[in-house]
Structure 1
Amino acid sequence: MSQLIHRSSLSRAISASLVALSCASTGASASVLEEVFVTSQKRIENIQDIGLSVSAFSGDQMDALGMVNTTDIIQQVPGLQLQSFTPAFTAFNLRGISQNNFQDNLEAPVAVYINDAYVGSMNAINGQLFDMERVEVLRGPQGTLFGRNATGGLIHYATNIASSDNLNGYVKGSLGSFDRKSIEGAVGGGLADGIRGRLAARWEEADGYIENKVGQRDQQGADGYVVRGALQFDIGDTIVADLIASYSEDSDVPTGVYVIQDADVTDLGLATPTSAPSPDPHEDFSDGGYFERESTSITGKLSWEISDTLQLVSITNSLEMDKFYLEDADGTPSAVTGAIFDFSTEAEYSQWSQEIRLSGDHDDFRWSTGLFYLDIEGDYQSIADGNVITPTYNTAVTSTTLDSTNWSIFGQMEYDFDYNWTAIVGYRWSQDDKDIDMLTTDDSRNPDGSDDGLGPVAQVQDISGVNTIDYGDYAARLQLNYTSEADDLYFVSYNRGIKGGNWSPNRSVTVEDFKHDEEVLHAYEIGSKLTLKDGVARINTTLFYYDYQDYQQFSLLNATPQVVNRDATNRGGEVELFITPNESWDIVLGLSVIDSEVDGAPTALGIDHEDVELPNAPEFSANALVRYNWEAMGGEFTAQVDGAYTGEQYLEGTNNPSSKEDGYFVGNANVTYTTEDGAWKYSAWVKNFTDEEYRLYHLDLAILDVFIGDGFGFTQEVYAPPRTFGITATYNFGD
């Protein structure tokens, strides 16, 4: 994804005008839902003119609609869900497609970009959104236009860069439930002739919403900050260089806690609960855990307008991330039960990527081509520590080093062969090379944890010949667009998407046992984008059919996370409706339908549970937002109610009955007052005003009853936050 192109003083003015058209006005004279201009196809386009299933919000729209974090955005994007039961793991789910395995070394099928740069680790995605220019969500396979190939779609976060010569900025502070506090701000402007800068930062702290009843810290809190700086340089009249650097840190965040429900294992290998659900899912009796992370990202972008019809763009990124996560997996106080079952993961991750694109625009013919290179190096370690799996105290360590490189060449052409018709052809060749080294050890100790003198014993080491993956394949796109005399768009497309193979490191005997193959997706779409009643309403509709070969399915065979390959199909559609009946009202309605089937999913006993649904893929979901503004007290008031209904779904790929989550509705509301000059804004808000109880996560560990006995099988659950309240104040300054 590319930022708006700032080529010169004139082009910056043009770009600013485009952004102004896409953003909300602070007064009552304009709708907050005016059309957004996006760069989904690497050029500035009205979202209604793009033959893709894409949802987008400008930064001003996000601010006006009260979207302060990723969850707020997801609730208003049909077909999009977020799996983020801990800050250590963030996985987006589009049309039921997501990264189902929580292991650190795997890339997700829904790619994430921050300021055009691909983020290859789910651990490196920070949920703090601030000083945003735009968020774009593209559904379906990606690969012929830019960046990393992906089968599920992509999320792009575009932050405000140093694009203005005028002094401007803001300061925002919030207070909320569970002693939540946050402050953020940004300042930018011209530094010298042809040089601009911007500095932004955000800090957040909160107690956990899960109360610990045995004297430990409350869990699922927050304690972190992000600092981001940007510089922009004019190099002559045709070249603009952007440099963006960010640093984030989460420090000793209390997390890694679960609601535990006792369970036996069935003959098929699925959990059957043997105890009643917890009367209060926001209470905890464990020894607790914590999470720490720091990451540094540096992105450089060079945009060269070679001529009126030819442009070259280079994007370079370096990302470093260190993470540690500890959980009390058994969920009980060791001082009372004597049981110790701690699980921790540690990752040292670094990536470097380079993308070069050349594009041309020649009236009825548009084209782009490019190269992409990605180098990932990761050192990962997981430790299962305690006295419940074996009769003695045991520490089981799995250490993995994974080196992964990808190079790709891609291109796409569009030709208007008639006034109303456009044909699109795209192609990509992608080559993945991956190497893994792994060592697992068992260190038995005395029951009290003291050294038994035997020392650690190596179980699995690097096995040459099976520790390398070389994989090359192609992605492709064929599409036909029809634009009516009323400027309504109709499109039909075929995409071939690809995602490379990998390993799911576990305590298997050989490395070959946990290698999974690449997946191939044949995706078919048909859609329309209509503007009604002279712009009063816009309705965007897409229908899709996915045919997967070797879909990468999650399994918990022998209580170890793995990925296996199974064929799968997925069909459904989305509808988005935006209505602005007058200057005071804005209405958003969304709908998503999914019907999926996977040929099978191995249970913990290795038995295939046949014809299962995709996890986190509700057959029906819907969203709505109603916003009303009026002038009073020398300024403007805005009242907003929004919410999302998520239908029945399975939280696990095996479709374990215990993982079935009933449908639920989450509603939010806020009231905002903005002064006449737009400088001050005051908001009061409530999240989840119905205090809905629903699960974000479920893990079936009933198989431990087979391994250990004594009724030790259980499932782990994480529940979403309860109802929360808060207030926010914002001060804007400059132009």
Structure 2
Amino acid sequence: MTKTISGRTAAFAAVVPILLAGTAGIANAQENTEAAPADTEIVITATKRAERLQDVPISVSAIGGDQLSKSRVTNADELVTKVANLQLTSIVGDNTPIFALRGVSMSDYSLNQSSPVATYYDEVYKGNFAFLGVAMYDLERVEVLRGPQGTLYGKNTTGGAVNLISRAPELGETSGYLNLGYGNYNRMDASGAINVPMGDKAAARVAFTFARADGWFKNQLPGEPDLAGVREYAVRASVLLEPTDGARFILRGSTSYQNPRNYGIYAQPAETVRPGLSKREIEANVTERRQARTYSLALTGNIDVSDTLTVTSITSWDKGKLFFYEDTDGTASELLEIPYYDKANQFAQDLRLTSNTGGPFDFILGAHFQPRESVQPYHV
């Protein structure tokens, strides 16, 4: 049998504040399994409306972006260390998770399949692994919903939903931050964001993340590079416009790119397949780089048509490509090598009418349109 093993690099991070300013809007949510101070109000949008966590009649865990940053959670795979009952398997390595909640998941490892635990970025459904990319940076919070989600999330999410919510621009505030880190295997990390007002009714925010590290899986074949390195970056730009009272629009555009050295395969039984090699040594003849490229564009609009009714429109477009060449034996022999390729395009439109009467009865009326994705998966 074979298995992919991974290593972590230790890093020391330095935070350089550009300008400290107060934070407005929705408060950062915390893990709901942790005790929060009595005067802390945790607000989430798990039911497509802003509500206190205590008032939401569903099982949901919420983690604030600051908590994720302090815990060095840098990709979606690491959420399993923070959320109870959340598990995952992976098709082709980092950022391609098949989540499992309450035992509900899938066992089909085809790249064109959709997990029953759906993943959303800023309320946009990511229906293909090629769309996921690098997304765990400059987040407001993460919400993990357990159990079937019905029609609120645009598909039959029988297991649950994982919602990643980025920080939105803030009016009238110039602020930002920069995080730098260095660790073993020449690991270098950088992430940051800057918020800039554009008059009284508009603001912009640009956030980025970058990581690079040498491979820790030492390749013993002469002239071949070490494996399991890190090479990735992502950039997100957001523009907020509030032309009138009761109207709010956010345009988000992002891209990410991953191009690390291939993962290493630790074949077992090691005494037979890998004689003379330690656990962190390999003789790999397949050393291609893993490639993943994403592009995303989304426009979210909220318009108050009355004191109790709000219309929400989310228009999104996604494009992604994923390539990975797997060496299944981890030796210099050419026994079984599997190429994975996935290319997809997606357009989606979400439209909702939400009431907020403050009384015992409120409703959400919505429609979701998403034509069949253009998908070109390939593997053998």
Per-residue displacement from partner, 1:303-341 (whole Å, max 9, x unpaired)?
Answer: 01111111110011100011211122332214xxxx353
Give 2:280's aligned amino acid. Answer: H
1:214 paired residue number: 221
1:244 to 2:249 alignment: no
When residues 347 and 56 of structure 1 are mapped into structure 2, their CA distance, relative to the original with a 3 A threshold, is same
1:285 paired residue number: 283
1:311 paired residue number: 310
Give 2:241's aligned amino acid. Answer: F
Indicate the RMSD between aligned Cα atoms, in angstroms. 2.8
Residue of structure 2 aligned with 1:235, choices 238, 243, 253: 243
1:414 paired residue number: none
CA contact (8 A) 1:188 1:196 kept: yes
Question: What's the offset of the Cα at 1:278?
Answer: 9.5
In 1, Cα distance between the equivalents of 2:369 and 2:264?
38
1:162 paired residue number: 169
Choose 324-333 or 308-317, whichever is displaced more: 324-333
Choose 57-66 or 101-110, whichever is displaced more: 57-66
In 1, Cα distance between the equivalents of 2:211 and 2:250?
28
2:345 paired residue number: 350
Report how many aligned residue pairs link the two structures: 350
When residues 17 and 373 of structure 1 are mapped into structure 2, their CA distance, relative to the original with a 3 A threshold, is closer
Per-residue displacement from partner, 1:376-398 (whole Å, max 9, x unpaired)?
Answer: 11112225xxxxxxxxxxxxxxx
When residues 302 and 18 of structure 1 are mapped into structure 2, their CA distance, relative to the original with a 3 A threshold, is closer
Question: What's the offset of the Cα at 1:99?
Answer: 3.5
Give 1:350's aligned amino acid. Answer: N
CA contact (8 A) 2:313 2:350 kept: yes
Question: What's the offset of the Cα at 1:103?
Answer: 1.6
The higher radius of gyration belongs to: 1
| Correspondence list, 1:636-675, <5 A | none
2:63 paired residue number: 57
When residues 329 and 377 of structure 1 are mapped into structure 2, their CA distance, relative to the original with a 3 A threshold, is same
| Identity over aligned pairs, percent | 29
In 2, Cα distance between the equivalents of 1:63 and 1:382?
35
Per-residue displacement from partner, 1:599-644 (whole Å, max 9, x unpaired)?
Answer: xxxxxxxxxxxxxxxxxxxxxxxxxxxxxxxxxxxxxxxxxxxxxx
Per-residue displacement from partner, 1:250-277 (whole Å, max 9, x unpaired)?
Answer: 12x21243112259xxxxxxxxx98799
2:139 paired residue number: 132
1:379 paired residue number: 376
2:185 paired residue number: 178
Question: What's the offset of the Cα at 1:76?
Answer: 2.1
1:82 to 2:84 alignment: no
| Correspondence list, 1:393-472, <5 A | none
In 1, Cα distance between the equivalents of 2:175 and 2:235?
17
In 1, Cα distance between the equivalents of 2:109 and 2:76?
19
| Correspondence list, 1:106-117, <5 A | 106-117=113-124
Residue of structure 2 aligned with 1:144, choices 122, 139, 151: 151
* 3-state SS in 2 of match to 1:184: strand
CA contact (8 A) 2:77 2:97 kept: no
In 1, Cα distance between the equivalents of 2:347 and 2:275?
46
2:264 paired residue number: 257
Give 1:367's aligned amino acid. Answer: F
Give 1:172's aligned amino acid. Answer: N
Question: What's the offset of the Cα at 1:127?
Answer: 4.5
In 2, Cα distance between the equivalents of 1:378 and 1:63?
33
Q: Which has the higher strand share?
A: 1
In 1, Cα distance between the equivalents of 2:198 and 2:244?
17
2:301 paired residue number: 302
Name structure 1 gaps, 5 residues minimum. Answer: 1-14, 25-29, 264-272, 384-735
When residues 325 and 115 of structure 1 are mapped into structure 2, their CA distance, relative to the original with a 3 A threshold, is same
Name structure 2 gaps, 5 residues minimum. Answer: 1-22
CA contact (8 A) 2:171 2:201 kept: no
In 2, Cα distance between the equivalents of 1:373 and 1:318?
12
In 1, Cα distance between the equivalents of 2:42 and 2:277?
45
Question: What's the offset of the Cα at 1:106?
Answer: 0.6
Per-residue displacement from partner, 1:629-669 (whole Å, max 9, x unpaired)?
Answer: xxxxxxxxxxxxxxxxxxxxxxxxxxxxxxxxxxxxxxxxx
Question: What's the offset of the Cα at 1:46?
Answer: 1.6
User: TM-score by structure 2 length?
Assistant: 0.84
2:16 paired residue number: none
2:356 paired residue number: 361
In 2, Cα distance between the equivalents of 1:70 and 1:349?
20
Give 1:90's aligned amino acid. Answer: P
1:41 paired residue number: 47
When residues 96 and 178 of structure 1 are mapped into structure 2, their CA distance, relative to the original with a 3 A threshold, is farther
Question: What's the offset of the Cα at 1:67?
Answer: 3.8
Choose 151-160 or 90-99, whichever is displaced more: 90-99
Per-residue displacement from partner, 1:647-706 (whole Å, max 9, x unpaired)?
Answer: xxxxxxxxxxxxxxxxxxxxxxxxxxxxxxxxxxxxxxxxxxxxxxxxxxxxxxxxxxxx
In 2, Cα distance between the equivalents of 1:258 and 1:278?
15
User: TM-score by structure 1 length?
Assistant: 0.45
When residues 260 and 65 of structure 1 are mapped into structure 2, their CA distance, relative to the original with a 3 A threshold, is closer
In 1, Cα distance between the equivalents of 2:49 and 2:170?
17
CA contact (8 A) 2:134 2:234 kept: no
Question: What's the offset of the Cα at 1:358?
Answer: 0.6
CA contact (8 A) 1:23 1:60 kept: no
CA contact (8 A) 2:267 2:273 kept: no
When residues 332 and 274 of structure 1 are mapped into structure 2, their CA distance, relative to the original with a 3 A threshold, is closer
When residues 40 and 117 of structure 1 are mapped into structure 2, their CA distance, relative to the original with a 3 A threshold, is same
